[in-house]
Chain A
Amino acid sequence: MPESLPIVEMVGISIAFPGVKALDGVGLRLFPGEVHTLMGENGAGKSTLIKALTGVYKIDDGEIRIAGEPRRLGGTADAQHAGISTVYQEVNLCANLTIGENVMLGHEVRGAAGINWRATHRAAGATLAKLGLGHLDPRRPLATLPLALQQLVAISRSMVAECKVLILDEPTSSLDANEVEQLFTVIRGLRDQGVAILFVSHFLDQVYAISDRLTVLRNGRFEGEYRTSELERAQLIAKMIGKDLAVLKSLDAKESRRVRTDEAPLYAATGLGRKGAVEAVDIELHRGEVVGLAGLLGSGRTELARLIYGADRPDTGEVAVDGEPTEITTPAKALAHRIAFSSENRRDEGIVRDLTVRENLVLAVQARRGWARPLPRREQDAIVAKYVSALGVRPADPERPVRLLSGGNQQKVLLGRWLATDPEILILDEPTRGIDVGAKAEIQEYVADLADDGLAVLFISSEIEEVVRQSDRIVVLKDHRKIAELEGGPGVSAESIVTVIAEDGLGDPSADTAVREEATT
């Protein structure tokens, strides 16, 4: 493809929010007749960058050039005026209007006596036909269309505004495979008409299927711009998570493995799933074993953990605890089965900030006993004494509101709360996120000790190395599916997990060469 002039050029864009630098010197180029994908984990700054381009956020530093001219975008109207249209993840249309009204909203054909509805609907029909949607009747209510077609109508709507740049923010997240293909046909058609398209998706397969060029962001920084055909999947993932492939390879896999002490699993789920969260997953947890959940952010790790705990209600699947078939639909039921779950969202779903350390520690135990059987103060003090010292909670003042403790110590209190319930299965979702190195090491060590004592631990972390180090067995998730289960051992490293994620869906399990071949052709 000839290197034409970019229609949009963003240079050195920086945006700071109170306390965080959301974007730091990020660049982005969009070329006419090209599909450009913006890649990065959740929180890498993709949405912020899009909002800068659509005029929602004001940029603190940097320049946006459209068709070679520097532009100040003071709002979404400015961006639209400059020919930039956006279709968001949630369809922003009026379900109670007709298809034609939605397409033409704000661009109605006006005659001498107000809006000429016949001409308006005719124009709408013509726009739809351009996208291969000529079979839709513009006079039908939008609500009669399935979501995927509504999405296409939203795209048609942006075409009416003579757009030169089309931004699609996760357009495929709620579509099935056929609908995605339909959407891609439309996108390719637009591309061939010379529209520059910015595409955002978490689904690697789709990214490789549709895009010509990639820009990778990480932690608000620009990692690089690549031709899709020149970047291997494994390299892409390595760039997204910010680890060199070589480094990933060199990280030692764990040497010693715990020997499974029981034959039958303590917890076994088959086909456990929930629409929109996790596709049917089989998972087993054994006593004395740490199972790690690995996958990129947004791959369904937390969602799976929540299903196991009953924090979200599973739609499908059968669960057996200790061989007994059961249903776990609420956290209270999970606790009754001696399953405990420490949420990744410590602030909002973990500690109760205004309660004291003691109250936070005993909360789950007390909840299981019910309010009518209060835990005697002596037993409360025993629990507090045990976990404050075992976990090294500092300061060791049980009557201090927990919000006054540091993040790491709050996490320890939370861990203590779950351990106080004497669980057999402990689910830890990002137990080491956002805490200092010392506290992190203490918690990691404690988790290992727990498994040695016979607990079944499900360990989730976005740091793949940490998962590898902690786990005896690793379940790999991608795009809300389980794609592999690896027995831990010298052969498993962060790098090998990345390879598994990268190669999934390529149809050829035979390693790197296949990827390279496909990518270069």
Chain B
Amino acid sequence: MSANAHGPAEALKGLVRRQYFWGIVAIALLLLVNLVKDPGYLAVTIGSSGNLVGNVIDILRAAAPIVLIAVGMCLVVATGGIDLSVGSVMVVAGAVSMEFLSGAPDTLGSGLAAVGLVIAVSAALGAVNGVLVSVVGLQPFISTLVIMLAGRGLAKVITGGQNTAATNESFRWIANGHVLGLPVVFLLALLLAVAMGILVRRSALGLMLEAIGMDAKAARLAGVNRRALLLTVYVLAGVLAGLAGVFATASVMTVDVSRTGYQLELDAILAVVIGGTSLAGGKFNITGAVVGAILIATLDKTVVFLGVSSSATPAFKAVVIVVLCLLQSERVRRAFRQRRAAAARPAEREAVAA
């Protein structure tokens, strides 16, 4: 936004300076690893129905729900808060839509109604978070932890403890349909992310959120309506999580009350951090959060593809993320720069090696 690129070279330079640059590098590296294992990994073919098929497409499809919750999380984190409830809002959304659709006719109308219902319910859950944080003044961690625990319970109550399944072609299309050969879910997620980006940067919402996150007292004295803004942000995060829940359940048309959205709040937080937004609040980067979300999806798929045993999966993920965070850390980068500078002085050769 700030650096106006005057050519591809400058644009590239600007990109390298961004924190999420390392996220993009990590995605490329992971794909490279997969490519080494299977030279045909990146192949995208046109399937029987004219749609693009391939591992990359699968990754994009899997990234869609993470992109949505990461964008919502990004805004909440910018205010200096955190939303632990996104995964639980996803499962509530799934439960609500499946319960509704299991008793509704298989029409476009009921599909739309299900989405509308999800938006209403998830907005309400987000509003509860928002009220607890902004009006009651509880810490965001505690408020959203409450909804995180209560949400999964609520989902079980809604479905009666069952993993409810339903059939609705139009609802299913959201997850499994294709437009221009690309999966609808990913296009929708991208569209929503872009729309949110435009909303926050073209309006003054971004500036206000950053001001709150950087210095809540100063922002209040400047007349920033912290209460209303926090409420707005938590509602937005809730709605985005609800839609992510639709994405996650529509592909299989079943809500798994104990697994849908499980621990996805952690993926969302990681995506936000990888994207260069500090958990301390303040400056945020939605593009970075999207990159982070795609990286997490790539990582998940890579783990499966490499056949890492499921018990070792979290450890593998942790290693990749720790390395990435180290690369992004200002301190580590400075240390590297200093070493490089020190090495450059005695001999040019060593500088190249460093």
Binding site for B on A (CB under 8 A): 309, 311, 331-332, 334-335, 341, 343, 348-355, 359, 363-364, 366-375, 399, 417, 421
Contacts and interface: CB of A to CB of B under 8 A. Distances in A.
Contacts of B214: 352-355
B225 interface: yes
A311 B216 CA distance: 13
B207 to A, nearest CB: 6
5 contacts: A331-B221, A350-B221, A354-B210, A366-B207, A370-B225
B333 interface: no
A367 B225 contact: yes
A348 B207 contact: no
B118 interface: no
Nearest to A362: B207
A363 B203 contact: no
B203 A371 contact: yes
A364 B223 contact: yes
Contact of A350 (B205, B218, B223): B218
A332 B208 CA distance: 14
B217 interface: yes
B14 to A, nearest CB: 15
Interface in B209-231: 210-211, 214-215, 217-225, 229
B204 A371 contact: yes
Given A374-B202, A374-B204, A363 B211 contact: yes
A332 B223 contact: yes
A369 B224 CA distance: 10
A371 B202 CA distance: 10
B221 A352 contact: no
Ranked 5 nearest A-B pairs via Cβ: A367-B223, A335-B223, A374-B204, A371-B205, A367-B224
B210 A363 contact: no
Given A352-B214, A359-B211, 4 more contacts: A311-B221, A343-B221, A355-B214, A417-B222
A347 B45 CA distance: 59
A311 B217 CA distance: 10
Contact of A353 (B2, B215, B220, B229): B215
B301 interface: no
Interface string B216-254: 011111111100010000000000000000000000000
Given A332-B223, A363-B224, A371 B215 contact: no
B221 A366 contact: no
Interface string B269-291: 00000000000001100000000
A351 B2 CA distance: 21
Contacts of B223: 331-332, 334-335, 364, 367-368, 421
Given A363-B222, A367-B225, A368-B223, A352 B205 contact: no
A348 B215 contact: yes
Given A348-B215, A349-B217, A374-B202, A331 B222 contact: yes
Contacts of A335: 223
Contacts of B220: 311, 331
Given A352-B211, A354-B282, A399-B2, A374 B217 contact: no
Contacts of B202: 374
B217 A363 contact: no
Contacts of B221: 309, 311, 331, 341, 343, 349-350
Contact of A374 (B2, B203, B210, B211): B203
Contacts of B282: 354
A309 B224 CA distance: 14
A372 B205 CA distance: 7
A364 B208 CA distance: 10
A375 B210 CA distance: 16
B204 A352 contact: no
Contact of A364 (B203, B222, B283): B222
Contacts of A374: 202-204
B207 A363 contact: yes
A348 B202 CA distance: 28
B177 to A, nearest CB: 33
Contacts of A417: 222
A345 to B, nearest CB: 8
A172 to B, nearest CB: 29
Nearest to A345: B217
Contact of B218 (A334, A352, A373, A399): A352
B246 to A, nearest CB: 27
B206 to A, nearest CB: 9
Contacts of A353: 214-215
A421 B220 CA distance: 15
B233 to A, nearest CB: 11
A348 B217 contact: yes
Contacts of A350: 218, 221
Nearest to B225: A332
B154 to A, nearest CB: 31
Contact of A352 (B2, B215, B225, B229): B215
